[in-house]
Structure 1
Amino acid sequence: MRKRLIQIFGFLITSLGWLFVLCTMAMDYWRITQIGGQGGSFIIKVAWYWSNLWKDCFTDSTAVTNCRDFPVLWSVTAFIQGVRGLLMCGLTLGFFGVVLCFVGMECTYIGGADKTKDKLLLAGAVFHFAGGVSNISGYCLYINRIARTTFAANVGPGVLRYDLGPPIFLGLVGCFLIFLGAVFYGVTVSRVICPESKVVYTYGGRTYMAPRSRGRTLYTGYYKPSRQYGSYMGSGRSSSSKISNISQTTPTKISERDAFV
């Protein structure tokens, strides 16, 4: 039950993270700057320049916005192309990760046996992590381009110093949620990554295989059998088998009366 809840929580977190990243693709104000300001209580001159991945826009003090859409793909600025490609690549990997994790979750009735579902869930977690790395690389590329211009000592004429907009921060939060959900998936399938050693117990003439642990674990619903009901066999033979072998190899002593008869 605990494993199932962790997987559901991880699925919700990763889905929310991918939703945040997808929303940033269509949001405005990736970068924004303001020209002019206020003098006393009167607005002298105010204008806003802002951009996203698809267009550059200008909004004046009367709230009239004029935009210029970016031209065809091969004539767009190189860093814009890189950000687009990284985000789209991350979204594609995230789609496969969501599908694999949905099939591999314990609460779903598709995907095959438990061992197969754990492997699918592990593969989905890897896709989520790779997609998150691709997304955060795209955001960092965009941030680096803005920071280089903003913090430059000398800027050429006509070059504006932009600030980061809300979509950048929303995307970074989405990447954090994706990584967190992938960690939750990895915790639930840790036995696939690091299989536990086995301990052999005997009870009532039967042999049991149990993981080597001191108490109740996430995957086992029982405790170790008590020593007063069973004996530890380990890697060697049991004491009962040793006794039977000794009885077979020890010669039987024949009394003189039986020999005479």
Structure 2
Amino acid sequence: MKHRTVVMYMEIGCFVSCLCGWILVCSTLPTEYWTFSEVGSIVLTTSNYYSNLWKDCISDTTGVSDCKDYPSLLALPVFLHACRALAVCAVITGFFGGVLTLIGMKCTKIGGSEIANARVTFAGGITYLVSGFCGMITYSWWANRVITEFVDPNFRAQKFELGAAVFIGWGGSLLLISGGTVLSSFAGKEGLPSSSPDRPRRPVSYATARTKRTYMMPASASRVTLVPPLFYEGRRSRATRATTRTGRTGRTFSRDSFV
């Protein structure tokens, strides 16, 4: 099986995983069971209190239930405002992550070249990661708040427990994070330029090339110096030959001996 086919099937699987996670996260917003508490006032009547980001509800065993929205927006605590903002950001970024991934996948053939599609898919994976982390922070923060109030012996108000929506949100966020991680890693290797040493280097120019002679010279003398007159080079060569001849014969010759 070719590498392109494997990557295509991987993208389809990650897209389905992220889409399911996004649907689970969206389903928790209208659900009332973020927290719940059961209070038995009478033997035959039991009251159930439950709430979410938007309203409080109460129901009893007689079948009567009533929900009431929070009365004032400005009177709400900062914790509730932050959870609302993070939950909405998780839904919005998950939607755009699905659009980008659907455009950049290899099986759709909507984009241009392979590199362009890989970059679009990489952007979709990063957007899915942002959506998953926003959702995970929201549900974890909410759960930490509920558990802290429940185990605190000095907390005198009504204590609540974790509802089903928090666990559903954890599962959806985990699917978003895992699918976004795989998408961004595979698409990033294909679409982003790599800085590995295996890339073709620029050919060395003639001015910077080293010959065998200059390579063996010390670092201070490796720089090429242009000397216009060639008389010194010839004189240096004759002196070198004379020194070599002297070393072979063991005799020293001077210039006056030839005169």
With the length of structure 2 as denominator, give the TM-score of the two structures: 0.70
Question: How many Å separate the matches in 2 of 1:169 and 1:134?
Answer: 15
Q: Secondary structure at the match of 1:75?
A: coil
Separation (CA, whole Å) in 1 of partners of 2:152 and 2:174: 29
For 1:2-48, what per-residue CA distance to the aligned partner results, in whole angstroms no more than 9, with x for missing partners? 1110000011000000000000001111100111289xxxx454211
Alignment of 1:9-24 (within 5 A): 9-24=13-28
More strand by share: 1
Give, in whole Å, the separation in 1 of the partners of 2:182 and 2:57: 41
1:48-96 residue CA offsets vs partner (Å, 9 max, x unmatched): 1111111111112212112221124323333221111001112111122
Q: CA RMSD in A?
A: 2.3
Counterpart selection for 2:169 from 156, 164, 171: 171
1:70 maps to what in 2? 70
Asked if 2 retains the 8 angstrom alpha-carbon contact of 1:35 and 1:45, the reply is no
Contact 2:90 2:132 in 1 (8 A): yes
Q: Percent sequence identity over matched residues?
A: 28
For residues 187 and 199 of structure 1, the distance between their equivalents in structure 2, rounded to whole angstroms, comes to 20
> Which protein has the bigger helix share?
2
Name 2:247's counterpart in structure 1.
none
| Cα distance in 2 between the residues matched to 1:6 and 1:194 | 21
Which ranges in structure 1 are unaligned for 5 or more consecutive residues? 201-234, 237-261
How far, CA to CA, are the matches of 1:108 and 1:5 in structure 2?
Answer: 12
Alignment of 1:187-202 (within 5 A): 187-189=185-187, 190-193=189-192, 195=194, 198=198
1:1-261 paired onto structure 2 within 5 Å:
1-36=5-40, 43-156=43-156, 159-189=157-187, 190-193=189-192, 195=194, 198=198
CA displacement 1:80-115 (0-9 Å, x = unmatched): 211110011121111221111111101112111100
Q: What letter matches 2:98 in structure 1?
A: V
Mind listing any 5+ residue stretches in structure 2 that lack a counterpart?
205-259
Return closer, same or farther for 1:199/1:143 CA change in 2, 3 Å cut-off: closer
Residue 129 of structure 1: how far off its partner (Å) = 0.6
Q: Distance in 2 between matches of 1:199 and 1:18?
A: 39
Distance 1:199 1:53 in 2: 53
Name the count of aligned residue pairs. Answer: 196
TM-score (normalizing by structure 1): 0.69
